[in-house]
Structure 1
């Protein structure tokens, strides 16, 4: 019983921590949106003292917000107790003012002869007593001091005593002045306590920073005070409020401009300061995380969802949004310009998210076909998802071309979307090949070659598109307007998307050519030798209809052995060098296999190592990456 109770308590504490700290983010948001120079210019007669006071108050508000954000939860709860008590005092003040105004305007008779006035008196007296009791409970006031909180009952007592109505307003002002003096005395007596809290926070965080390092301290604070969730809640509330304001201010714009531009305008307005921009990036990261998690849940079911522990999924999109927003100067733009730029930024984020979805879903799709999974619903779900993944980037590319003219930046973004569609189509082709191989009755020896050619065709398309983008960028830099940003992007694009692709493709080609040469140098087993061997392939455990014989006398499928040769130049069974040719091994291959070709006792370890090496061959050559499971 204690386990669920502890879990609920942790969730409750986390919720309280987030709810109590989120207002500090709103304070910092308003702080960034406020310009203190305007207040100073409005008092241009004597700007000296005004500038000093305004600057002090301005930065004191920021210090207060940071203190609320970082202080321990227990002291934060105490602070909110005082804030709620202050709000209750203001409520008592407002109720007293309402009562005085109503008594002066509506009645001029004795209290005990007017039934409505008597009810009104009882109601206000009850409310004032309840408010005083709540304040005494929240800030722990005991003994006779709690009766001071009933100061706003003086107009009620005066009404019972029959004091003239002209005095009521003066009594109300006296109560307000007396309460204000008490609040000032309380603040003056506790200002040292408040400064001690700030000092204690600074010392505590500084000690932690010196002990574990400032980078580790940043990550510790990030998770301890649940800062990502605070930013998420803050931005959602900010966006909803901005959406409500826009709808109330311009209710016709939604039907005239369309919902997309309307939402983009709201999103652009909700990233006008560094705080709201960080909150937007965190919100995008959380949205990407849940989309990718739901994608995995859609493909693999609840078991894969519960076993998944990748908590960093989705943060790539958030960091991408932050970097591009800072690079393009999003905060310095006007609201309309920010809304149009937000369209491009969200397009880039969506492209990155589609790519992440594809990278996560591709192994699942290929494993369904390579393992010949007979669950038809899993295959249908995977095909529907991949159909969406190659159609949606094309739709996004078409949509953005309707609003913007083609330039270098837009070409880079569009090429990324188009390459994602090409990769998805290539994976679907390989999936189809594996499915066809599953329904064949005899082994498909050339499957590995066809998969390699399919992947090579996709890589060549990617390389051609990357080269085209580089050429277009060089043309823009030479004939158009040159800039450091475009040149930097061009260099990065040329290195990662052209040079590294060229190196990887050439290395894969050399590895495959070398493996084919080694395989062709080995003799092919005859039917008599296969019948004499009378066993399965030690790598894939399938029957041997055709086989290659190693110099050490072991039999393997040609395709399986070729996959192994991508990684190692040894026999998968005994680990002898295969390039030791017939000079050392004699005519053992021609004379047939050894009489004793029993599988060694450690065959399971050899098979496991072989399968592990083959399945990881993508690190050396992408050509047989998806075929290792077959």
Structure 2
């Protein structure tokens, strides 16, 4: 894709967003407007007023939706007509100003008054320029363009010497003539508009029948760049609200502080469904860029350019939406909404920190396990992890200063504390790997220490989850019971207690079984290691000690134990390892007897077995290479 074509696509995307964002502001005002007040304000014929107000009210919403979904070419044409209408209103206003100025002045001959002549020339030029712009925008090329000069009639009447008292009547005639032209234009084009609507509905229905409604919604979502529209809409809305608050309440800013001030602005900018959706999408985009910058900070520009995870950050946006709907954020008063927003943003920040940890944890462990020599990468990773375990503690301390402890707050605080515990556990494992890299000899017990460290972290997580469940049960039994708290308690008990217990017990059983299988295998003697004179097929490191499988292959005990967590076969030949050493020795002793029966046939079988084993070993080396990478 050339640079010119890329710039053109960016330009079209920018135009698409800029032209559609006003429809979101129309929807925002529509949700904030109560039509019942306008109906109650009319004292005559309330039934007729209610009908007209309702029609206008929902017509505005339909217009906003049409602007949001309209194709770009049609949308540009619509804006041309809107700009032309604004120019007509400006021409009407300028003509009215001219008439008022002329009526206030004493009646004189126009060519004998230089000031009046300059004023006439200025207004006449302005009317001609606006008429030319309107003709250009709506593409009028015939004699009809001269009709747009209708507001020059008061100037022409002034030149013709018509009495000044008649100028107002001429201006009223121009206005009535313009309104008639607009009504005729709308009447002549209403069929064209209906045809466009019908054509688009038929096209959308055909697409829905072909690809399905869900796929159509996702296609429309990305085609009209709706997330970016919501992002721009909310940023403009927030900046406007921030400016209004700073102008109206500068004293409260100095008294309450920036935090409460910003929370109040954020709470005011999510008072309708449109602004709430925009806030959630803004949070998703902010989370995406924070996580992307985190990866750029850890791995550099190369990893950033190769990253294609477009769904990153949307977890935080969906979390914000679900909790806002569940807590009834839209139904609260502005002050209550501001305080609730503090809790909601705390939850989103906790989720974001957890996402940052899940992204950075493999990178940190890879640095230590691969014994990377780049000091700056290690320093950056350690600084980030220091922030990731200190900041949740600071957040927990801060929120405890403003709110009393209850079940919801305990769930939120437990999430932050668990993130800090996980980060500290990863730092401990990182330190163990770094210490192993400094040793001159392999550390055989490293895998056990890493396992015990991870187990300790999992036990702490399980204890915190059990404590939260017990506290929630106490609140439900002795405190105020509610369906929401009970549902959250059940979900928390299943996912954070039962699932953790099952996963931990399963891991323990697998490890115990792997240790039993490994202990049943014989250890290689120094003489056998010298005769073998090769590396471990899993990690490709020298064998100072090894375990021998019944099929005669040599492996590091730690590497083989990691393999046995997954499979009960030899990594080289894939034979079952449940055979005992005695069985393998017996099978080895039976072979000479068979060789004595038919030596020629046995030699042929051995040659075929060796060729098959060589082919199989080549395939198994590739598999062992992959499995060694997975085990690390």
Bin for the TM-score computed over the shorter chain: over 0.9
**Structure 1 contact 563–614 (Cα < 8 Å) conserved:** no
What's the TM-score once normalised by structure 1's chain length?
A: 0.94
Partner SS state of residue 576, structure 2: coil
State the partner residue of 2:271.
272
Of stretches 183-192 and 279-288 in structure 1, the one that deviates more from structure 2 is: 183-192
Instruction: State the match for 2:29 in structure 1.
Output: 30
- Unaligned runs of 5+ residues in structure 1 are 617-627
**Contact 1:525–1:546 under 8 Å retained in 2:** yes
Q: Using the alignment, how far apart are the partners of 2:57 and 2:199 within structure 1?
A: 22
Question: 1:159 maps to what in 2?
Answer: 158
Matches within 5 A, 1:547-626: 547-586=546-585, 600-616=614-630
Superposed, 1:396-545 pairs within 5 Å as: 396-545=395-544
Partner of 1:230: 229
Q: Is the 8 A contact 1:554 1:597 kept in 2?
A: no
Q: CA deviation at 1:473?
A: 0.2
Higher relative contact order (CA 8 A, sep 6+): 1
Once residues 166 and 52 of structure 1 are traced to their aligned partners in structure 2, the CA distance between those partners, rounded to angstroms, is 41
2:199 match: secondary structure: helix
In structure 2, distance between residues paired with 1:589 and 1:428: 49
Structure 1 residues 589 and 289 mapped into 2: Cα distance closer, same or farther (>3 Å)?
Answer: farther
Give the C-alpha shift of residue 198 in structure 1: 2.5
Q: Work out whether residues 553 and 588 of structure 1, in 8 Å CA contact, stay in contact via their aligned partners in 2.
A: no
Contact 1:288 1:317 in 2 (8 A): yes
Which residues of structure 2 form unaligned runs of 5+?
590-605
Shift of 1:411: 0.3
Shift, 1:414, TM fit: 0.4
Distance 1:589 1:103, change over 3 A: farther
In the alignment, the residues of structure 2 paired with residue 398 and residue 605 of structure 1 have an alpha-carbon distance, to the nearest angstrom, of 56
Alpha-carbon contact 1:537-1:543 (below 8 Å) kept: yes
Q: CA offset at residue 189 of structure 1?
A: 1.7
* Residues matched between the structures, number: 613
Equivalent positions of 1:328-343 (< 5 A) are: 328-343=327-342
Structure 1 match to 2:353: 354
- Checking the alignment, whether the CA contact within 8 Å between 2:522 and 2:581 is kept in structure 1 is no
Equivalent in the alignment of 1:200: 199
**Which stretches of structure 1, 4 residues or longer, exceed 4 Å deviation after superposition?**
587-590, 596-599
Deviates more, 1:510-519 or 1:58-67: 58-67
CA-to-aligned-CA distance 1:574-621 (integer Å, 9 cap, x gap) = 11111111243116999xxx9x999945545323323433554xxxxx
Superposed CA offset, 1:481-502 (max 9, x none): 0000000000000000000000
Give SS of 2:542's match: coil
Distance 1:297 1:549, change over 3 A: same
What is the alpha-carbon distance in structure 2 between the residues aligned to residue 603 and residue 386 of structure 1? Answer: 42
Q: CA deviation at 1:532?
A: 1.2
| Separation (CA, whole Å) in 2 of partners of 1:69 and 1:615 | 50
Where does residue 255 of structure 1 map in the other structure? Answer: 254
Deviations 1:113-146 (A, max 9, x none): 3333333222222211111111001111122110
Change (3 A) 1:208 1:597: closer
Q: Helix, strand or coil for the counterpart of 1:173?
A: helix
- Whether the aligned pair in 2 keeps the contact of 1:423 and 1:458 (CA below 8 Å) is yes
Distance 1:552 1:439 in 2: 34
For 1:11 and 1:201, locate their aligned partners in 2 and report how far apart those are by CA, in whole Å: 25
Distance in structure 1 (CA, Å) of the matches to 2:541 and 2:41: 88
1:243 correspondence with 2:242: yes
Contact 1:463-1:502 within 8 A present in 2 as well: yes
Partner of 1:624: none
Q: What is residue 592 of structure 2 aligned with on the other side?
A: none
Per-residue CA deviation, residues 245-265 of structure 1 (Å, 9 max, x unaligned), is 111111111111111111111
Q: Helix, strand or coil for the counterpart of 2:250? A: coil
Partner of 2:122: 123
Indicate the SS of the match to 1:586: helix
| 1:107/1:117 contact within 8 Å kept | no
> 230-239 vs 498-507, which deviates more?
230-239
